[in-house]
């Protein structure tokens, strides 16, 4: 585990008498890619705005690299890159000219760093073209290039794959994995594309009605919700009679929603009833399935 980059501690946010966030806490470490997910109106965008200092915190605190976002804003935000909604780009300028403008805001960004970032986001062949000629995926990558020019330790992205085609999503996934590994960034991603987050996030934080209801490693969520599928039993009709909640898959297999420690007891029961078992296979649950189980099937933003 790397250094702790972002710490949200018991964040509360009220608008008038309405409580939007209630004791929201989350940690993001160096090299983490944390998927921040939740139903419509759960509080994802509000949380991001509090982290970035765009709204006042009612109660609680945000620490970035140990600096308090409210008390030490300049130091806290100095090593943060972010894209909330769509990246801000000048369409009539080239990609390089856009990066040059942003680089002027930072003393430490050299021409070499600009060239390094261009290569990192794979825009070498088009960086001198006008942004108006870029595809949506290229604009997203240019936006990330802007956000990482100053080598931030924390990158916050709101719906980075929104509107991208499959190729654009693949490129985004590869880029974020590279940033986490090569640049050792802590990355927080708010997204509704759960199937995509499942392929590159190592952690997930689920928020519902302004409260965190789950913060786990992706693998831990899968283990917690795993089903076990028994294959190629020799008598599926007998299975139907002795196991009432078996999910019949075909003439030779069925699925049971049981925990790992319950499997031996089931095996004994089948054998005692003279049912032969040829194979038992664990079925991994997807992040999307886990989300619906946790939230009760709410619609994603």
What is the structure's pLDDT at 107? 86
* pLDDT at residue 282 tops 50: yes
* pLDDT at residue 224 tops 70: no
Helices 111-120 and 166-182: crossing angle in degrees, nearest 10, is 130
Q: What is the mean pLDDT of residues 217-226?
A: 70
Looking at residue 130, the DSSP 8-state letter turns out to be B
* pLDDT at residue 201 tops 60: yes
Please, where are the H alpha helices in 31-130? 44-51, 73-77, 95-103, 111-120
What is the structure's pLDDT at 239? 87
Q: What is the mean pLDDT of residues 273-277?
A: 90
3-state secondary structure of 279: strand
The per-residue pLDDT of the chain, averaged, comes to: 87
What is the structure's pLDDT at 86? 75
Contact (CB, 8 A) for 230 and 253: yes
* pLDDT at residue 286 tops 90: no
Q: What is the mean pLDDT of residues 173-182?
A: 89
Tokens of 203: 């952690």
Q: What's the whole-model pTM score?
A: 0.79
What is the structure's pLDDT at 230? 66
What is the structure's pLDDT at 246? 85
What is the structure's pLDDT at 284? 66
What is the structure's pLDDT at 161? 77
């Amino acid at each position: 585990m790397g250094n702790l980059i972002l710490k949200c501690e018991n964040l509360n946010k009220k608008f008038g008498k309405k409580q939007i966030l209630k004791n929201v806490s989350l940690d993001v470490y160096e090299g983490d890619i944390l998927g921040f997910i939740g139903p419509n109106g759960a509080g994802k965008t509000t949380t991001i705005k509090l982290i970035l200092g765009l709204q006042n915190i009612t109660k609680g605190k945000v620490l970035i690299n140990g600096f308090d976002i409210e008390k030490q804003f300049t130091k806290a935000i100095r090593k943060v890159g972010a894209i909330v909604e769509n990246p801000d780009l000048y369409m009539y300028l080239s990609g390089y000219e856009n990066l040059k403008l942003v680089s002027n805001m930072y003393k430490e960004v050299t021409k070499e760093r600009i060239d390094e970032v261009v290569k990192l986001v794979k825009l070498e062949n088009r960086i001198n073209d006008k942004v108006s000629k870029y595809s949506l995926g290229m604009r997203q990558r240019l936006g990330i290039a802007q956000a990482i020019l100053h080598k931030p330790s924390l990158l916050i992205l709101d719906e980075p794959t929104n509107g991208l085609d499959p190729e654009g999503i693949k490129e985004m996934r590869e880029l974020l994995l590279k940033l986490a590994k090569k640049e050792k960034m802590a990355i927080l991603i708010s997204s509704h594309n759960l199937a995509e987050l499942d392929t590159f996030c190592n952690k997930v934080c689920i928020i519902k009605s302004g409260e965190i209801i789950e913060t786990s490693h992706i693998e831990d969520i899968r283990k917690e919700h795993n089903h076990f599928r028994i294959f190629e039993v020799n008598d599926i009709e007998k299975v139907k009679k002795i196991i009432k909640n078996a999910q019949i898959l075909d003439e030779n297999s069925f699925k049971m929603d049981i925990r790992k420690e319950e499997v031996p007891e089931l095996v004994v029961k089948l054998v005692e009833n003279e049912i032969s078992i040829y194979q038992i296979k664990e079925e991994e649950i997807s992040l999307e399935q886990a989300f619906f189980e946790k939230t009760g099937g709410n619609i994603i933003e």
